[in-house]
Structure 1
Amino acid sequence: MKKYIVLTTFSLLLTLSGSCQSKSNELNESAAAIAQKEVPVKVASVNGLEKAYFASGCFWCVEAVYESVKGVKESISGYSGGHTENPTYESSNTGRTGHAEAVEIIYDPKVVSFSDLVAVYFGSQRVTQVNGQGPDNGSQYRSIIFYQDDAQKKIIDDKIMLLEKDLGAGKVAAQVMPFQKFWEGEGYHQDYEKLHPSQSYIRNVSVPRLNKFKAKFSQLLKEDGAH
């Protein structure tokens, strides 16, 4: 009897967990559908530098990839794409805020174009993986590429069309969303790959992803020591 109660309780917990996850996914899908109708926010350039926003799995990985690209002055980890104010790492990881781990890229358009940044984005991920990248799974790790105007959206749409032509029956998983707001992440997440080279996730996931990208995009890389 005791074993039966334990198994029944465990089954109930699994059912409830699945139910909560299902409701969370439905909420995120509904919020994403609403967001698609929003007018994109155009971020003003400062001292000739512009900003772009991407989500593609763990922000530690994405930040490190973009930091290696010439023309990128700064890559900042944070959250975007959701429906709540002031998201945190803890709240976004519940999957209920709608936010994904994202990066803000501050770049010099005279050195690297938005089109180049889009190529970096798709060239440094598994383009067909839904709700995650590599071992990181969940809506908070989903791929989102944000646009700030029609010109950027066309660049993104054209790239996706080419990718899907090559994929055949495959579909690019990234959501294409009008940019609304970026919430900067906690300080301990910034430059994480650079500051924690011996951490196991960095060694086993971030660095291999970065090195794979570098091998494919050597023409876009900063010279050693460049910032």
Structure 2
Amino acid sequence: MERFLLAIIICLFFSCKHEAQVNPKQQAVINAEPIEVPLENGLARAYFASGCFWCVEAVYESVIGVEEVINGYAGGYTNNPTYELSNTGTTGHAEAVEVIYNPNIISFAQLVDVYFGSQNPTQVNGQGPDKGSQYRSIIFYQNEAQKQIILEKKAALSKKLNATVAAEIYPFQKFWVAEDYHQDYEKLHPGHPYIMNVSIPRLNRFKAKFPELLKENN
């Protein structure tokens, strides 16, 4: 009898836990129609989440054809997210970057290659020491063509690694710009322990893989 009651309690626990993870607001974001951002002065915009945005900003700013990278929040259902709120994991958002680029120099497909090549693609809910839903990997698409590029590259990488690739695929909805002190963080704070021990090593690993895409080599 005691074992039976224990089994019932365990089942109820996991059932409740599962229900708590199902969020209708988040599902609405995932199911939404993508919003396409028009070109501005010949420049396009792409959106990626891959752990700490300080790291991702530095990676994309090193790539040819990228004019600017802005840190912010995307993928969630909360309006006006802040760094403090995002860190609670309750906004649905992940730390993300807006990549402003020249599509005549670098393509969206190449930016996706940069994305997968600059992270641990199998790490769920985080990158490196940064863990939590606010650090999860997401690639945002703005139209069906971009979605197909992402799906094909994710499937090919999964096959190559013989492992599940963690990146989620979301329709782009809105990008919320992060606080001013988060912008150009690696450039402005090269001596910060996190930058020295996490961000710069991650950038250098990327550079070693993609020398042909680096501004410094072109």
Q: Give the corresponding residue for 1:198.
A: 191
SS in 2 for 1:54: strand
Matches within 5 A, 1:126-165: 126-165=120-159
Give a deviation string over 1:159-201, Cα, whole Å, max 9, x none.
0110111122x10101000000000000000000011000000
Q: Give the corresponding residue for 2:3.
A: none
Which of 37, 40, 45 is the equivalent residue of 2:39?
Answer: 45
Q: Give the corresponding residue for 2:206.
A: 213
Q: Do structure 1's residue 59 and structure 2's residue 50 form an aligned pair?
A: no
Report how far residue 32 of structure 1 moved: 3.5
SS in 2 for 1:51: strand
Quote the Cα distance in structure 2 between the aligned partners of 1:165 and 1:42.
Answer: 30
Q: CA RMSD in A?
A: 1.8
Quote the Cα distance in structure 1 between the aligned partners of 2:19 and 2:139.
Answer: 21
Quote the Cα distance in structure 2 between the aligned partners of 1:131 and 1:150.
Answer: 25
Quote the Cα distance in structure 2 between the aligned partners of 1:25 and 1:183.
Answer: 26
Quote the Cα distance in structure 2 between the aligned partners of 1:179 and 1:197.
Answer: 32
Percentage identity across paired residues of the two chains:
64
Change (3 A) 1:219 1:78: same
Q: Give the corresponding residue for 2:28.
A: 34
Structure 1 segments, 4+ long, off by >4 Å, are: 22-25
Quote the Cα distance in structure 2 between the aligned partners of 1:132 and 1:203.
Answer: 19
Q: Give the corresponding residue for 1:103.
A: 97
How many residues are treated as equivalent by the alignment? Answer: 203
Report how far residue 24 of structure 1 moved: 11
Report how far residue 81 of structure 1 moved: 0.3
TM-score, scaled to structure 1:
0.86
Change (3 A) 1:133 1:24: farther
Q: Is the 8 A contact 1:24 1:95 kept in 2?
A: no
Q: Is the 8 A contact 1:60 1:191 kept in 2?
A: yes
Q: Do structure 1's residue 118 and structure 2's residue 105 form an aligned pair?
A: no
Quote the Cα distance in structure 2 between the aligned partners of 1:160 and 1:174.
Answer: 8
In structure 1, give the amino acid aligned to 2:98: E
Quote the Cα distance in structure 2 between the aligned partners of 1:73 and 1:154.
Answer: 25
Q: Give the corresponding residue for 1:179.
A: 172
TM-score, scaled to structure 2:
0.89
In structure 1, give the amino acid aligned to 2:156: L
Unaligned runs of 5+ in 2: 1-13
Report how far residue 25 of structure 1 moved: 6.9
